[in-house]
Amino acid sequence: MGVMAQFFYYFKENGSYVLSQFMRHFLISSYGVLFAAVIGIPLGIMIARRRKLAKWVIGSANVIQTVPSLAMLSILMLGLGLGVNTVIVTVFLYSLLPIISNTYTGMVQVDPTILDVGKGMGMTRFELLFQVELPLSISVIMAGIRNALVVAIGVTAIGSFVGAGGLGDIIIRGTNATDGTALILVGALPTALMAIMVDWLLGMVEKRLDPTAKIQK
């Protein structure tokens, strides 16, 4: 039986299992990015207000990004043990840089003249943030979340080495099998498809939220 024949046969016999691992993989990635957004967006807003801190905050997030993912997983595993939590924390740490830096960039790029007009209309600091600054920078912030989630999908695949499950678990089983090429494809192709779908869908959302695109229409 050829590789592709084995590939389709495995899907036919174990489709529900592959789907459950697909959803598990996606949720682990999403939770890590969600937690990073909860921390990273306010941090990005803060350093846009206090720009002297920007270098230190973004620099610290950049240092985390330079640590190889397998090394990061191994270090965190010593404290958190095997399982999903270790991978979610790893994804969280890797997602901070794109989210913080894009939030900072989006906030800084808001035209000061628009802010002056808002202040002249009597808008408070919070009103300016939620009615002017965030709406104008949301597409840039979304681009950071988009990049973070695509990277997270790859990190989660490696996370199977610490017992988190997901599609990476199927890939590992394939590498350990005598003739596991088809099994590797069963795990790798859905992982690649997930990354492509997420990038495309969030790219569409990013364009929809872009205020300049709305003006052009």
Q: Which domain holds residue 78?
A: 17-212
Does 99 map to a domain? yes
Does 6 map to a domain? no
Does 188 map to a domain? yes
Total domains in the chain come to: 1
Does 11 map to a domain? no
List, for residues 38-96, the tens digit of each pLDDT value.
Answer: 999 999 999 999 988 999 999 999 999 899 988 999 999 998 988 899 999 999 999 99
Does 77 map to a domain? yes
Residue 31 CA to residue 90 CA, distance in Å, equals 11
Does 217 map to a domain? no
What does the mean pLDDT of the chain come to? 89
What pLDDT sits at residue 214?
54
Range list of H helices, 67-133:
69-80, 84-108, 112-120, 125-128
- Residue 195 maps to which CATH number? 1.10.3720.10
Residue of 2, 5, 10, 1 lying closest to 187 (CA atoms) = 10
Does 3 map to a domain? no
List, for residues 141-154, the tens digit of each pLDDT value.
Answer: 999 999 999 999 99
